[in-house]
Chain A
Amino acid sequence: MKKKYGFMLSAVLAAGTLLSACGTNDANNESSGGGSSEGGSTDFKVAMVTDTGGVDDKSFNQSAWEGLQQFGKDNDLEKDKDFKYVQSTSASDYQPNLSGLIREDYNLVFGIGFLMQQDIQTIAAQKPDAQLALVDSVAVNEDGDPMENVASITFKEHQGSFLVGVIAGMQSESNKVGFIGGVDSELIKKFESGFKAGVKSVNPDAEIFTQYADDFNAAEKGQQIAATLYDKGADIIYHAAGGTGNGVFTEAKNRAKNGEKVWVIGVDRDQHEEGMPENVTLTSMIKRVDTAVIEVSKQTMDGNFPGGKVTEFGLEEDGVGIAESQENVSEEALQKVEEYKEKIQSGDLEVPSTDEEYEKFESSL
């Protein structure tokens, strides 16, 4: 007990600063609130469950984990104890993994990817006291309303995709570009529609090839599809396919080695590294899963768990955009990007996020 008292002094100090910083403290967050009175902010525990891609998928699982690590560093949390990840080896693992972390008394548990939606919904209903967060989709109850104990995080991927589409449209020499999607789904359609709209806005004559791999984690499939699209004449391919996209880089690098001039547009993270040393990454559509994870973790730790809310990260919130590595993007294109960015933010331009919206958009050009 002695140890605990000594510890409490610093804890109370820390808690004090924290409370004053955030001002109000929600009453419904008793678990974290109650915890902080005894152990201070270090009592906060947060964890995430990856899908089958794992934290080295060079895509959104990795991005989420980077965010969580950053959050841990900023708040002096201990890895594997106060913050950690658990990887799923199959879809049937999602539920026991999520459930296990709640059982281990994690104050906030992230499910990364829309594939976990059903499992999050089930667990959220079973454990009303648990605090969960779902990335890329909205957890809803039986009435279709967002669930009170799940923070849903979505992104306006179509906006970011539009910008890289603009770059592709400007810089394609063959006037042919490709899009490779992971799984044909509502989410990936946002990437596709935004990208196509961006290309067509600056280059109405460009031809766009679209193909889905039906898999987020099959690099060899990605490579094959990329080969097909490059053979068809595309010189820039935008992938929104997670681990499958790694194969697109492999193919592009192979071709670059043979002197072909081909580009890849990365997704989720700045994928400049993946294109090296052949330097085939034109740009990347970044989706700040890390920012989102940090943001929601912070809010929760501060007692403002955004349960029941759908937090949407768009251009305005810096949740999506083009990557910092811009050495391969032309001045001209960058100017155009800035132009469109303003138009989107001001609301002058509504970027399509579904097939129907895209069709409408295209005919209005």
Chain B
Amino acid sequence: MKLLKGKWASITVPLLSVALGLLVGGVIMLVSGYNPIVAYAALFNGIFSNTYVIGETIRQMTPLILSGLAVAFAFRTGLFNIGVEGQLLVGWLASVYVGLQFEGLSPIVHIPLAIIAAALAGAIWAFVPGFLKAKYQVHEVITTIMMNYVALHVVNAIIRTYLLAPGERTDQINASASLQSPFLESITDFSRLHYGFVVAIIGAIIMWFLLWKTTTGYELRSVGFNKYASEYAGINVQRNIVLSMVISGAFAGAAGAMEGLGTYGYMTVMADFTGVGFDGIAVALLGANGALGVVLASALFGGLKIGALNMQSVAQVPTQLVEIVIAMIIFFVASSYLIHWISNRVSKRGKI
């Protein structure tokens, strides 16, 4: 039980949580008549067995990192940005739009331009709830959720009206705006791995730097922890609430650019939300709202998502059951509190 306390806890507790999640998931599979060992072997192989799946895992992580950062950033200022999904969609559209324009531009200019456009679009989308919160105390959870729906339908309408190409989608973006890389594809056996991963890592570094090394970050964290003391100290609380949402939205928009410029190279008419923005909430919480934590949590999420495909294909576990098992693992990681509690109980008992 020593290992569950002190400096090792931050490593042992998540590991134990994953193990517990696997165990419970295994029991569920066993009860449903599937062989958990075969299934988990398939899951494991589906994440690590070859360069293709590794490439796909990293590809899956890329937008998750950025959407996780978006949620985490807002959370640091005491705001729940549930609107990452919508901000991601408008960012995706903006990146594709810029990607479709300016044929012949150098990639060195075109790619950053498209990403900035995406970040800007996400930021504008997040500005609205931020402004309403700061000015009229409208709860951001409500407004951001509603803005998700607005985003979904507005984006669809814009694609249909102005950008439609055969197949319910936009045209392919110009190569000069694409993050796709034949080199990365070739070393990962044609996975969709693209340079967006670098962008996501830079995003994580930016978040860390902004929050912990700048006066802006100091103000944002201060407002997040204690509005009143911040106001007392002369920090403009309202401005920081808006700023926090805007930066959060920019991260979310950039996540959309990863899909638009990297994974797909176009945008389809969306029947439903992508889910990446919502997964971002779990990623942020799992990653304790820290930059490194978000990257690690994205690795867990992304890996499980890609491995799940193999679990279904090779071990014939139905997708629904796979999703339950994945949810179990995440559930246990998220509730590592439970493990702390158990360890405390046991150590107390030991003393009696």
Contacts and interface: CB of A to CB of B under 8 A. Distances in A.
A touches B in complex, CB < 8 A: yes
Interface of A: 54, 80, 84, 86-87, 89-93, 95-97, 99-101, 103-104, 114-115, 117-118, 123, 126-127, 137, 183-186, 214-218
Given A87-B312, A214-B269, A183 B168 contact: yes
B316 to A, nearest CB: 5
Interface stretch (B21-29, B103-111, B270-278): B270-278
Nearest to A81: B316
Nearest to A138: B166
A315 to B, nearest CB: 25
Contacts, number: 74
Given A96-B309, A118-B169, A214-B156, A89 B268 contact: no
A91 B53 CA distance: 17
A93 B268 contact: no
Interface in B281-330: 306, 308-310, 312-314, 316, 318-319, 323
Nearest to A123: B190
Contact of B271 (A103, A104, A216): A216
Contact of B309 (A80, A100, A114, A214): A100
B25 to A, nearest CB: 17
26 contacts: A80-B316, A84-B316, A86-B312, A87-B318, A87-B319, A89-B308, A89-B319, A91-B268, A92-B60, A92-B263, A92-B274, A93-B309, A99-B52, A100-B310, A114-B167, A115-B168, A117-B167, A118-B169, A118-B264, A118-B266, A126-B190, A137-B167, A214-B156, A215-B271, A216-B271, A217-B271
Given A115-B168, A216-B271, 18 more contacts: A80-B316, A84-B316, A87-B318, A91-B268, A92-B60, A92-B263, A97-B313, A100-B313, A101-B313, A103-B52, A117-B167, A118-B169, A118-B266, A123-B190, A184-B168, A214-B156, A215-B271, A217-B271
Contacts of A92: 60, 259, 263, 274
Interface in B238-289: 259, 263-264, 266, 268-269, 271-272, 274-275
Given A123-B190, A186-B166, A97 B269 contact: no
Which 9 A-B pairs have CB atoms at the shortest separation, nearest pair first? Answer: A126-B190, A215-B271, A86-B313, A87-B319, A185-B168, A96-B56, A80-B316, A117-B167, A96-B309
Nearest to A183: B168
B306 A96 contact: yes
Contacts of A96: 52-53, 56, 191, 306, 309
Contacts of A100: 309-310, 313
Interface of B: 50, 52-53, 56, 60, 156, 160, 166-169, 185, 190-192, 259, 263-264, 266, 268-269, 271-272, 274-275, 306, 308-310, 312-314, 316, 318-319, 323
B160 A184 contact: yes
A216 B269 CA distance: 12
Nearest to A89: B319
Contact of A127 (B156, B167, B190, B312): B190
Nearest to B46: A100
A241 to B, nearest CB: 11
Contacts of A118: 167, 169, 264, 266
A97 B307 CA distance: 11
B211 to A, nearest CB: 30
Most B-side CB within 10 Å, residue of A93, A101, A216, A217? A93
B265 to A, nearest CB: 9
Contacts of A217: 271-272
Most A-side CB within 10 Å, residue of B166, B263, B323? B166
A59 B194 CA distance: 35
Contacts of A84: 313, 316
A50 to B, nearest CB: 10
A95 B192 contact: yes
Contacts of A104: 313-314
A214 B159 CA distance: 13
A216 B272 CA distance: 10
A6 B310 CA distance: 34
A154 to B, nearest CB: 13
B134 to A, nearest CB: 34
Most A-side CB within 10 Å, residue of B53, B168, B272? B168
B309 A86 contact: yes
Contacts of A89: 308, 319, 323
A99 B272 CA distance: 24
Contacts of B319: 54, 87, 89
A214 B271 contact: yes
Contacts of B318: 87
B52 A115 contact: no
B56 A215 contact: no
B37 to A, nearest CB: 17
Contact of B275 (A86, A90, A101): A90
Contacts of B191: 96, 99
Nearest to B55: A96
A89 B192 CA distance: 18
A126 to B, nearest CB: 4
A92 B258 CA distance: 12
Nearest to A125: B190
B266 to A, nearest CB: 7
Contacts of A214: 156, 269, 271
A226 to B, nearest CB: 18
A24 to B, nearest CB: 32
A168 B35 CA distance: 50
A193 to B, nearest CB: 17
A90 B313 CA distance: 15
Contact of A218 (B263, B271, B306): B271
B117 to A, nearest CB: 22
Contacts of A218: 271-272
Contacts of B52: 96, 99, 103
A90 B309 contact: no
Contacts of B156: 214
Contacts of B160: 184
B271 A183 contact: yes
Contacts of B269: 183, 214
